[in-house]
Structures are given as structure tokens and as C-alpha cells.
């Protein structure tokens, strides 16, 4: 008898957190692993002083070339092993993330700002303005980046500032070309024509009508460029054109370990995996953002 009066459990809808994530587009299909990797890189960069278990520049010759802890002869104190000077690889990877993230932040902000302004200017005005900027973009994209870096390294002192300068000089054209094409379509919209008829000044049209509409694309490009900048900086540092010792960088770690590859494979494998993981995570997250912000791809 009691069973006939038993109440059926209420079916609960999605919780507040779930609904909030869905509004942001975060749900099924979100690259959680990629986002977690990028979050780990950012946390390592921000809190490297507290997270590094050892002094990243501390030399301990008695512990030189210690293998990772899971190998024979390894030590649990040095999780990923040590280099030829006894420096902890894990600590150096954490500290090296700070240099990579700092360079990526400056390079993305500067190249994105320059590329967005030139791209909007070319796409909005057209005519000879578009022709001049487009030729500059073509010239820049035709110049190989590594020889250009070698040229500037011969004139300027290699270091963090030169790396940022080379990256900005290389990547602004990437932003400008893509955003120019988008603005060419936006300037034909009715609200742009109405703003012109109403006598709205060009800087106001740029700030209120053009920039908000290219912001999604700009954000996707910045996310994709994060991994590219890390690889580019690592390549310059590996060649001796980038970050100079005693500053720690992932590319510098690769350069230091190449002479010991036959006896200590972990010296180049561990920083190489860090570079690969950061680059792959940035590409995966950028692809997801592109699909999320594009209405046609989102519907499909």
C-alpha cells in the first residue's frame, strides 16, 4: 500500500555551473586537456619561484647527469633528472616557462595591435591605402624570419628585447592580412553606411563598429600564435640568437643538452616535450575557439 504513494524522484535540470559553462560554449567538445596544459604553463610562469623544487641555476657537479627517477640510478629528488652541471631539469622547465610566457604576451599584444590597426585601415579605406599596406604585408611575409633574426642579432644585442622585436616584425603581417579581409566584408554592412551618413568620425567607427566585430577573430589568432611564438623563441635561443645565459629558456635547454644526447637523452627530451605540449595545446584550443565563434561551423 505504501508503495502506491511513493513519490517519483524529481528530474533535475543542469546546475547553475553547467548552465553558465554552456552559455560560454564550454561543454561537450571543449578541449579540457589542452586548456589544462596551457593553464599549467601559465601557473608555472606566474609562480615559478614557489613551484620550482630546486634552485634552477644551482650547480651540483656530484649530481650531474642523474637520470629521471624512474630509471636505474635515478633519484626521487630530481624527478626529470639533472643536466651536465647537476641542475634540476624539472625546476629549469618551470622557470623557463616564465620567459616563454612573457615573450609570448608582449609579442602577441604588440603584433596584434599593429596588425589589427593596419588591417582595419587597409580594409576600411581601400584604394591606394589598401594597396600600400597590402604590398607591405606581401614583402614582410616573403622575408624568411630566421635569416632576418640573424641579421638583427649581428646589429643588436641578442636577448629578450630582440626576440620580441623579431617576433612582432614577423607576425604583424599575419594579423593584418586576415583582419583586412574581414573588414572588407564588414564595411559593406548597413550599419557602417548609416554611421557614415550620420557623420560619425572614422576613429569612432573603428572603435564602436569594426573592432568589436573582429575581436573574436583577433582572440582566435592570438591563441593560435601563442604556440607559434614559443616554438619561434625556442628556435632562436637554440641557435644562440635569443635568450642568453644565465637566463633560462626552453630553447637554451635544448642547446645545452644537444652535446649529451647519446648519454643523457632527457636533457633535450624533457624541454622538447614541454615545447610540443604548449604548442599543441594552443593549436587545439585555438581551433575550438574558431569553431565556437564561427556560426556556420558551430551549427554544423
- 34-55: pLDDT as tens digits: 999 999 999 999 998 899 999 9
Given a contact cutoff of 8 angstroms between Cβ atoms, the answer to whether 170 and 148 are in contact is: yes
Q: How far apart are CA 174 and CA 167, in angstroms?
A: 11
pLDDT category at 2 given cuts 50, 70, 90 is very low
pLDDT, residue 195, reads: 87
Q: How far apart are CA 234 and CA 164, in angstroms?
A: 12
Q: How far apart are CA 249 and CA 164, in angstroms?
A: 14
What's CA 3's distance to the chain center, in Å? Answer: 60
Q: How far apart are CA 215 and CA 205, in angstroms?
A: 14
Task: Report domain 31-299's class.
Answer: mainly alpha
User: H helices within 66-126, ranges in order?
Assistant: 89-125
C-alpha dihedral, 190 to 196 to 202 to 203, nearest 10°: -60
Q: With a threshold of 0.85, does the pTM exceed it?
A: no
Task: Count the residues in the chain.
Answer: 300
Identify which of 200, 148, 195 has the alpha carbon closest to the alpha carbon of residue 170: 148
Q: What is the pLDDT of residues 121-175, one digit of tens each?
A: 999 998 999 999 999 999 988 888 778 877 877 777 778 888 899 899 989 999 9
The β-bridge partners of 78 are: 75
Given a contact cutoff of 8 angstroms between Cβ atoms, the answer to whether 130 and 119 are in contact is: no
The grid cell for 131 is: 594597396
Q: How far apart are CA 78 and CA 113, in angstroms?
A: 42
Dihedral angle sign, alpha carbons of residues 279, 276, 229, 36: positive
Amino acid at each position: 500500500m505504501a508503495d502506491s504513494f511513493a513519490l517519483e524522484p524529481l528530474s533535475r535540470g543542469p546546475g547553475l555551473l553547467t548552465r553558465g559553462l554552456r552559455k560560454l560554449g564550454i561543454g561537450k567538445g571543449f578541449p579540457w586537456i589542452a586548456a589544462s596544459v596551457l593553464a599549467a604553463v601559465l601557473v608555472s610562469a606566474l609562480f615559478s619561484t614557489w613551484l620550482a623544487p630546486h634552485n634552477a641555476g644551482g650547480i651540483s657537479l656530484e649530481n650531474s647527469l642523474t637520470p629521471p627517477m624512474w630509471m636505474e640510478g635515478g633519484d626521487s629528488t630530481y624527478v626529470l633528472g639533472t643536466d651536465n652541471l647537476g641542475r634540476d631539469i624539472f625546476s629549469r622547465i618551470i622557470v623557463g616557462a616564465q620567459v616563454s610566457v612573457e615573450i609570448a604576451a608582449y609579442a602577441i599584444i604588440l603584433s596584434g595591435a599593429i596588425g589589427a590597426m593596419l588591417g582595419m585601415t587597409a580594409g576600411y579605406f581601400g584604394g591606394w591605402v589598401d594597396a600600400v599596406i597590402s604590398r607591405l604585408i606581401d614583402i614582410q611575409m616573403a622575408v624568411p624570419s630566421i635569416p632576418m633574426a640573424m641579421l638583427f642579432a649581428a646589429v643588436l644585442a641578442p636577448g629578450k628585447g630582440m626576440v620580441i622585436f623579431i617576433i612582432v616584425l614577423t607576425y604583424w603581417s599575419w594579423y593584418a592580412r586576415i583582419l583586412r579581409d574581414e573588414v572588407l566584408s564588414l564595411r559593406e554592412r548597413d550599419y557602417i553606411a548609416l554611421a557614415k551618413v550620420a557623420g560619425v568620425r572614422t576613429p569612432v567607427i573603428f572603435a564602436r563598429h569594426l573592432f568589436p566585430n573582429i575581436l573574436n577573430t583577433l582572440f582566435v589568432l592570438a591563441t593560435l600564435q601563442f604556440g607559434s611564438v614559443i616554438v619561434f623563441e625556442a628556435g632562436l635561443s637554440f641557435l644562440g640568437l635569443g635568450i642568453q645565459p644565465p637566463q633560462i629558456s626552453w630553447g637554451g635547454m635544448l642547446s645545452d643538452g644537444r652535446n649529451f644526447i647519446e648519454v643523457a637523452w632527457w636533457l633535450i627530451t624533457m624541454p622538447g616535450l614541454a615545447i610540443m605540449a604548449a604548442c599543441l595545446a594552443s593549436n587545439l584550443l585555438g581551433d575550438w575557439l574558431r569553431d565556437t565563434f564561427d556560426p556556420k561551423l558551430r551549427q554544423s
